[in-house]
Structure 1
Amino acid sequence: MAKHSVGWVASQKRWLLAFLVMLSVSTLIAFFIRAAFDSCDRPLDVVAKSPTRVPSGLLVGAGPNPLNFMKSKLVLLVSHELSLSGGPLLLMELAFLLRSVGAEVCWITIQRPSDTDGVIYSLEHKMLDRGVQVSYAKGQGAVDITLKADMVVLNTAVSGKWLDVVLKEHVPHVLPKVLWWIHEMRGHYFKLDYVKHLPLVAGAMIDSHVTAEYWENRTRERLRIKMPQTYVVHLGNSKELMEVAEDSVAKRVLREHVRESLGVRSDDLVFAIINSVSRGKGQDLFLRSFYESLQLIKEKKLQVPTMHAVIVGSDMTAQTKFELELRNFVMLKKIQDHVHFVNKTLTVAPYLASIDVLVQNSQARGECFGRITIEAMAFQLPVLGTAAGGTTEIVVNGTTGLLHPAGKEGVTPLAKNIVKLATHVERRLTMGKRGYERVKERFLEHHMADRIATVLNAVLRRAKSHSDS
């Protein structure tokens, strides 16, 4: 009888895990969980000469969906690529929000590899299953859809070149109904070839105040062009992700499974960075900080649980120089037992359930927003983040996490912050709870839908005003 009971429990556990993993895949394809906002005491407003306050109180959960006015509207979404990176997955999320209220949605991908790609195939069929029409960047068909659409959403600065290449003489007729959604923070995107049409579009939408201000200043000073009316829209966690984050049984099962697969004990302390592995995401500096924190603990003879660093987003098949640098550092410092590399994956919810602290170590100007940050906070995790970009609008320093400088000068401060959270369990748990409360107040799907509705409504009015004149 005992053996039968144990077997039944194990079977149930495997079934629940499989279900949660499938749910996580579905959630993360539609709602980007990898690559999530910033001392957000500032209200959503327009970054322009005459800022306007977006009205509050239009919550999806409290009444009609604020996007209902988009019913039967034809919206064309133009993405520079279809991949697991932030921009395309955010645009897919918008596509699904619009489809949920009965909008007709068409998707055009500018760059599509000639070879069959499993990820692209999966994402395209995910959209087709939800009623999104998927087509390609060139040809008369693309022109016809663009001219017919009530609204065109360009996703990322790079998409700007598509206007001239595909639409040609039709560009002036299309610009008044274009909403340009910009996510980039790096300077090499500030090319006139990409963004010369920005001043004439109906509006720009940017994920954080920091990025919006950067674009406003940079376009004026470097390119001598003026930004259109610009809206800052913070993102929100999907309902599916929140269901997992708030399910204590699901989290416990996922935590046990992932820790077992990594060889991490239940009472060990895990710090993780969840981003595609690249120098801009700061995995190298995180590992240096982690090693330094181990040395500090040893020198001060502090009593802490065994500590681990997890890098989620690895890709050894690519054999990049940077990836090899990370692994060589681990070998050189002899910390192989403390560092774990996990291949890039859509199913990050299990890792959020299994770790104790998220590290958001994006470098230079930081993340435009950093979706993973609000997702980690939904799982009641404190965040150790760089004081740069959108992270400063999400993490309240000292309350929901701790911030450190970007660059090499941030290595020691991050190491000290790791030690602080390792040695103060109650502080770590309190920060996690406050982060969760902040997510519930600001960063849920209905908050995002409300904010986007305000922008889309304004763009439609502006497009209609132009056509009437």
Structure 2
Amino acid sequence: MQYWRGRLHLVGGADEDRWTARADHWSLAVSGGRTDEAGWRAEQPIPVAGMHGSSAVLGDSLYVFGGQQGDFQAIPGDPDCTCTGRTPETYLSSAFRLSDPSGPWTRVADLPIAVSHADFSTIVVDGRILLIGGQVYKDPEQFYLRLTDAIQAYDPLADRWSMFGYLPHKLKIPVVGRLGDRLFVVAGQRGALPDGDRPGEITREMLTTTLPASPAARVREGAGFAGRKILLVSHDLSRSGAPLLLLETAQALMESGATVRLATASDDVRGWNLASQFGIPLIPIESAIAVAAASDAIIANTASDPTAAWVRKCLAANPFLAQRLVWWVHEIDIENFKQAADLLQLAALAIFDSNAARAAWQEAVALPPKVRVMHPPLSDDFVETASRASLPFPMKPQTRTQRPVELARDDIRRRLGVSKDDFLLLSLGSLEPGKGQRMLIRTIARLAAESGLPIRLLLVGLNRSDRAALLEDLTSDEKAVLSPARTYLRQSAFASFYLASDAFIMNSQGATKGRGETFGRVTTEAMAFGLPVLGTSAGGTAEIIVDGVTGYQYPTGEDGQAVLQRQVEILVRDRLLANRLGQAGRQSALARFQQGKHLSDLAEALELIW
């Protein structure tokens, strides 16, 4: 209910059966704390009927948001008026504005996350409307409910939504208010264990936080995505290449005016996740097929089995959605992705990270009628990071979760046990046979022992058990180039390792058939930091490195390690050459792998399906 233009306005609701949604809109004149009329007056009904929606008044306009259709239903004839929850519910993402009481409602941008039960948790803050928490899903067979912790923000001037922040836990029907620069969230129904997002106890707690200053939103004009609805589906949101690239792309799409929603097969919405950090709306995986039906494009991220299983389920439910399906394939070793191999041809469009990956898949399976190769870009934020003289550095190599310390290059090198004269080689990635780290350690240790050159090696991206096993197996020569201080678990703050290094090595051999890396964005990141890069002449790496100009290529296998050894020795002995290659690489990376260009290429590719 809202007070607007001297009248109380009540919008939506349900019939007496509690289940049938209504589009009614009533108003009552009020002044001086009293009603001025004997009864309510019928007003313009809302275009989409619903109950448990939310509303706000801003800029002399009345807004209504979301809600649901269907609810717990009264059992006919029950003497205790008991209700049953074994009823279907549909959650609404629609939003409307009424600027003239006698005129029509205008549809505005849809909510990123369809939500109900935000009746009393919608508030105007500094020219934006915040929807705080709510209920987002009801299972049609088991009838369980799911809540959200998301705070969605609507900007009426831009007609765009963003993720304002998150509550410390899932919550519906709280009461919210503002006092000065503080936001208060009081009572409501919390999410319960084991999943944390199913309705639990009614709480009396009060949450409060200082409202942050509203940052200027980054807006990308002319990219061709304004008004489009795009669903992204991934296997998970681990801090690895494909999920990070997807989240960066989602950010850019939202900045271009698209309505973006993300779901993961691992259902990362249950707890804290990377989508929260990137400000990307994350929906329950159970909602994804229904959202797909209302989307202009569905982008399936990775050829992993969980993603392929969701695609199979989606197309079984709605075969026509194949016309909107884009499969973004980040893998090159097709033998490991049988489910996707069987389904890929059903997509309307396939996108590969490299020509090498496309060739590997094309050799083995039928591809969709439309195919594009798009090299992954460097994000605008990363390019800015690569120009800084100091960066957050994680101090403890054996710890993943830690508070980094801002340090300059020389200070980082001292922490790593690297002197001014040492030549530091960086390898970044999970420890896998196909990545070639153990082979690399042997090669660099042999070079250092034979030449006496001051060479040090830095490995970043291991898991705890792999790190322990690796350090235990090192020979004395290998320990001379690789110490525990330079053997890091996977870190969120990893850019500082590029800053501290003198060269980067992508020693990927490939899981099968020596195909190398699909692309390897860490290689282009190293180039952005001005490092000379050395990599196998296979897979996407060969499409990144210009041999002899931005770095060196060498063959896969043991024969290639002898070539790599000579190349590293050349760089260690000629630091000016290493610097020239690195600077040429930086110029190449910033010119070839721009995020804006990637976004334009994606828009052009999607024009093929919408």
Gap change, CA 1:64 and 1:291, over 3 Å in 2? closer
1:281 aligns with 2:435: yes
Kindly state the Cα deviation for residue 190 of structure 1 after the two structures are TM-superposed. 4.2
Equivalent of 1:311 in 447, 459, 475: 459
Counterpart contact for 1:211–1:390, Cα < 8 Å? yes
Deviation for aligned residue 1:372: 0.7
Equivalent position of 1:272 in the other structure = 426
- Matches of 1:124 and 1:437, distance apart in 2: 31
Partner residue in 1 for 2:275: 124
Q: Which of 369, 374, 382 is equivalent to 1:233?
A: 374
Residue 494 (structure 2) pairs with residue 348 (structure 1): yes
Deviations 1:92-128 (A, max 9, x none): 11211111012111111012479x7xxx61313224x
SS in 2 for 1:107: strand
Mapping for residues 165-180 of structure 1, pairs under 5 Å: 165-170=313-318, 172-180=319-327
For the Cα contact (< 8 Å) 2:389–2:409, is it kept in 1?
no
Name the counterpart of 1:151. Answer: 297
Structure 1 residues 178 and 337: alpha-carbon distance in aligned structure 2, compared to 1, 3 A threshold = closer
In structure 2, the residue matched to 1:34 is: none
**1:247–1:126 CA distance, 2 compared to 1 (3 A):** closer
Q: Is the 8 A contact 1:292 1:412 kept in 2?
A: no
C-alpha contact (below 8 Å) 1:175/1:201 kept by paired residues: yes
Q: In 1, distance between residues paired with 2:582 and 2:501?
A: 12
Structure 1 alignment gaps of length 5 or more: 1-62, 220-224, 299-303, 461-469
Q: Report what 1:292 is aligned to.
A: 446
Q: Does 1:448 align with 2:598?
A: yes
- Matched pairs, number: 371
Instruction: Quote the residue 2:250 is aligned against.
Output: 95
CA RMSD of aligned residues (A): 2.3
Corresponding residue number in structure 2 for 1:104:
259
How far has the Cα of 1:389 moved from its partner? 0.7
Match of 1:216 in 2: 362
Partner in structure 1 of residue 312 of structure 2: 164
Residue segments in structure 2 that go unaligned for 5+ positions in a row? 1-218, 393-405
CA contact (8 A) 2:347 2:368 kept: no
Q: Would the aligned equivalents of 2:248 and 2:379 in 1 still touch at CA under 8 Å?
A: no
Going from structure 1 to structure 2, the CA distance change for 1:415 and 1:78 (only over 3 Å counts) comes to same
Task: Give the structure 2 partner of residue 458 of structure 1.
Answer: 608
Q: Distance in 1 between matches of 2:380 and 2:569?
A: 34
Give the secondary structure class of the aligned counterpart of 2:313: helix
Higher relative contact order (CA 8 A, sep 6+): 1
Name the SS for the 1:197 alignment partner.
helix
Q: For residue 150 of structure 1, report the CA deviation from its aligned partner.
A: 0.9
1:133 pairs, out of 263, 273, 281, with 281
Partner SS for 1:176 = helix
One-letter identity of the residue aligned with 2:320:
H
Q: Which residue of 2 aligns with 1:188?
A: 335
Superposition TM-score, scaled by structure 2 size:
0.58
Seen in structure 2, the aligned counterparts of structure 1 residues 122 and 256 have a Cα distance that, compared at 3 Å, is: farther
Matched-pair contact (CA < 8 Å) for 1:234–1:369: yes
Higher share of residues assigned helix: 1
1:326 to 462, 470, 473: 470
Q: Does 1:419 align with 2:574?
A: no
1:44-92 CA-to-partner distances (Å, cap 9, x unmatched) read xxxxxxxxxxxxxxxxxxx97442x211211110101121121111111
Distance 2:248 2:431 in 1: 24
Shift of 1:332: 4.2
| 1:373 Cα deviation after fit | 0.7
Higher alpha-carbon Rg: 2
Provide the C-alpha distance between the structure 2 equivalents of 1:338 and 1:146, rounded to a whole number of angstroms: 49
Percent same amino acid among aligned pairs?
A: 29
Instruction: Give the structure 2 partner of residue 244 of structure 1.
Output: 385
